Amino acid sequence: MFFIASISFSQNYTEYATGSTTDITTNHSFGICMMGGSSENDNAMRWFLNKTDGGDIVVLRASGSDGYNDYMYSKLGVAINSVTTFVIHNKDGAIDPYVLNKVTNAEGIWFAGGDQFNYVNYFKDNAMEDALNAFINTKKGVIGGTSAGMAILGNYYFDAANGSVTSEQALENPYTARISLGYNDFLDIPFLESIVTDTHYDARGRRGRHSVFLARFATDNSMRSFGIACNERTAVCIDNNGKASVFGSYPNHDSYAYFLQANCTENFDPETCVASTPLTWDRNDEAIKVYKVSGNNTGENYFDLSDWNTGSGGIWENWYVENGNFFNEGATNPNCILSIEESQLNNVSIYPNPFADVVNIETNSKNVKLQLFDINGKELEAKFNKSNQLNTKNLASGVYFLKLKLENGEQTFKLIKE
């Protein structure tokens, strides 16, 4: 092994390398770390580094320089093998074989801040996108980002292709050209399906625009939408079971994370979400159910993304919009655990979840038909065996959706294969 601290330049990227030149293999584990911008939360970053088990970190950015190298390598007290920062200058830099090899061999990947459209523009629909999704879903490394780097992590995302948008602009016209959105066509990250993220939340007054993003997703896709947001100096760290721990410095700072979901009702979509007309998404003042969680140094407060119902250290709020005006008030939880409450209405039991080789399906309904879809909406072959089990041995690890057609309606269940 050799220790290095070097800079190399290419027409398409700049590399800053710190640590060992020898790649190693470690017992790393999956995780997601998302930060809301401004200064990093040191304990959340330690959580991220520990997931690599002493491995190699690749920092991807489209501007700036080597600010993360010494910070990750020597300032946090977590021993890691190396930190390599690539400042990507264009699409060719993103798909350079040397850069892709470093991404493939890393145990942790971190997206810096900046302009999120650069990340989308440089990394989407090419070999870098493939390498990142393989890293996440096959290698199961830890991934994270701050500010713009957090903004691209949701499977639904605001790409800022036409610049930023304020809450006032979004609420006044949900289809303004300033709102450019992507749907399930970039990063495929477990627990972040149907989720759009936002950052610098309260400092930049982004609750209104985030609500518009959810309204657009619900309207455009005819399905419930979800969101995760972080204030500055706040981080959400998600483990492989979907537990989202919130790190911050509350009460010294307003270190809050927000977990948003369209209310779990039959009529969840906005009343008025059309071009050139102010948004109305009221639904009896309960359009969006939000769990607001304060973050501290231990990350003990959390929200469970496996059921979107269970949490600790937070409070529920109702958010709604009337004629372009945003409101929020106290609330009770949405009581929307699909695998329990809703399934009991039809005497359906789906287990285990997460699953391995089989999924057991128990129901008193007759003539049950089922469809299985992957995270991208592609239908897969799905049949019961004689024991009312769904054989899933050949499925890759990841998130799936099982739709059951029952006597009195349809139900869709989110399943996770380990």
Q: What is the pLDDT of residues 205-215, one digit of tens each?
A: 999 999 999 99
CATH of the domain at 86: 3.40.50.880
Q: In terms of domains, do 368 and 325 share one? A: no
Rounded Cα–Cα distance for residues 189 and 137 (Å) = 7
Q: In terms of domains, do 105 and 149 share one? A: yes
Q: In terms of domains, do 211 and 317 share one? A: yes
Q: Which of 299, 330, 361 is the last residue of a domain?
A: 330
pTM: 0.82
Q: In terms of domains, do 307 and 357 share one? A: no
Q: In terms of domains, do 114 and 149 share one? A: yes
Q: In terms of domains, do 257 and 232 share one? A: yes
The confidence band for 397, taking pLDDT boundaries of 50, 70 and 90, is confident
Residue 384 CB-half CA count within 13 A:
13
Q: In terms of domains, do 99 and 196 share one? A: yes
Q: In terms of domains, do 21 and 81 share one? A: yes
Q: In terms of domains, do 127 and 206 share one? A: yes
CA 168 to the chain's CA centroid: 25
- What is the number of structural domains in the chain? 2
| pLDDT, tens only, 61-81 | 999 999 999 999 999 999 999
Is the pLDDT at 341 greater than 50? The verdict is: no
Q: In terms of domains, do 255 and 377 share one? A: no
Q: In terms of domains, do 188 and 287 share one? A: yes
Is the pLDDT at 342 greater than 60? The verdict is: no
CATH of the domain at 342: 2.60.40.1270
Using alpha carbons, list the distances in angstroms from residue 120 to 61, 148, 153: 11, 10, 11
| pLDDT, tens only, 280-320 | 999 999 999 999 999 999 999 999 998 899 999 999 999 99
Is the pLDDT at 337 greater than 50? The verdict is: no
* Burial state string for 357-386 with b = 16 or more CB within 10 A and e = fewer than 16: eebebebeeeebeeebbebeeeeeebeeee
| pLDDT, tens only, 134-167 | 999 999 999 999 999 999 999 999 999 999 999 9
CA angle 42, 45, 46 (to 5 degrees): 85
Q: In terms of domains, do 140 and 214 share one? A: yes
Domain residues for the domain of 381 are: 338-417
Is the pLDDT at 408 greater than 70? The verdict is: no
Q: Which of 330, 361, 394 is the last residue of a domain?
A: 330
Q: Which of 330, 348, 363 is the last residue of a domain?
A: 330
Rounded Cα–Cα distance for residues 88 and 191 (Å) = 28
